[in-house]
Amino acid sequence: MKRAIFPGSFDPITLGHYDIIKRAISLFDEVIVAIGINADKKYMFSLEQRLEFIKEAFKDEPKVKVETYEGLTVDFCQKIDVKFILRGLRNPADFEFEKAIAHTNRDLAPIETVFLLTAAKTSYISSSIVRDVIRHKGDYTKLVPDSVRV
């Protein structure tokens, strides 16, 4: 069974994340959306809210699971016996950043990173942009799945 994790903070999940997950469903038997917990990071949404946003967005998709983890992503992969890390790429800067992480992960464990390019229509969306729109009371609904309501 081919399983992949899609790690991130998902603060909040965006339509870009949603698109990557939906497309990964055809590539893997199971896609685990893995919400990383970083005690030093200040989040807009609680862990419970982020879990609910994702679970609700994929409630009708049995191949998508949602988990939380702390520590290194590769350690979590080994703990749950996952061989693939899924990452989305929006632009060349993402590629350079993600490439360094992928090489490091492969040095640490026998885990492969699979990159999917974001769809052109969502390539400009990031969680930080969504948070900024929310803070300034803008219409964020065009940037996130319907499950994200604040």
Question: Which domain covers residue 102, as residue numbers?
Answer: 3-142
Is residue 81 a contact partner of residue 67, using CB atoms and an 8 Å limit?
no
Is the residue at 149 inside a domain?
no
Mean pLDDT by 10 residues, the chain (150 residues): 97 97 97 92 94 98 97 96 96 91 94 95 94 97 93
Q: What does the pLDDT read at residue 74?
A: 96
Is the residue at 50 inside a domain?
yes
Is the residue at 112 inside a domain?
yes
Q: At 136, list the tokens.
A: 């300034």
Is the residue at 150 inside a domain?
no
Question: What CATH number is associated with residue 25?
Answer: 3.40.50.620
**pTM assigned to the model:** 0.94
For residue 113, list its beta bridge partners. Answer: 85
**Nearest 5°: phi and psi at 89?**
-120, 125
Is the residue at 49 inside a domain?
yes
In the annotation, is 106 catalytic? no
Conformation bin of residue 71: beta by default, left when phi > 0, alpha when psi is -120 to 50: left
Nearest by Cα to 128 from 113, 119, 140: 140
Select which of 41, 42, 136, 137 is catalytic: 41
Rg for the chain, CA atoms, rounded: 15
Q: What does the pLDDT read at residue 18?
A: 97
Is the residue at 147 inside a domain?
no
Select which of 90, 99, 106, 131 is catalytic: 90
Q: What does the pLDDT read at residue 39?
A: 78
- CA–CA dist 75, 67 (Å, integer): 14
Q: What does the pLDDT read at residue 93?
A: 87
Number of domains in the chain: 1
In the annotation, is 127 catalytic? yes
In the annotation, is 17 catalytic? yes
In the annotation, is 90 catalytic? yes
Q: What does the pLDDT read at residue 40?
A: 83
Cα four-point dihedral sign 12, 13, 16, 20: positive
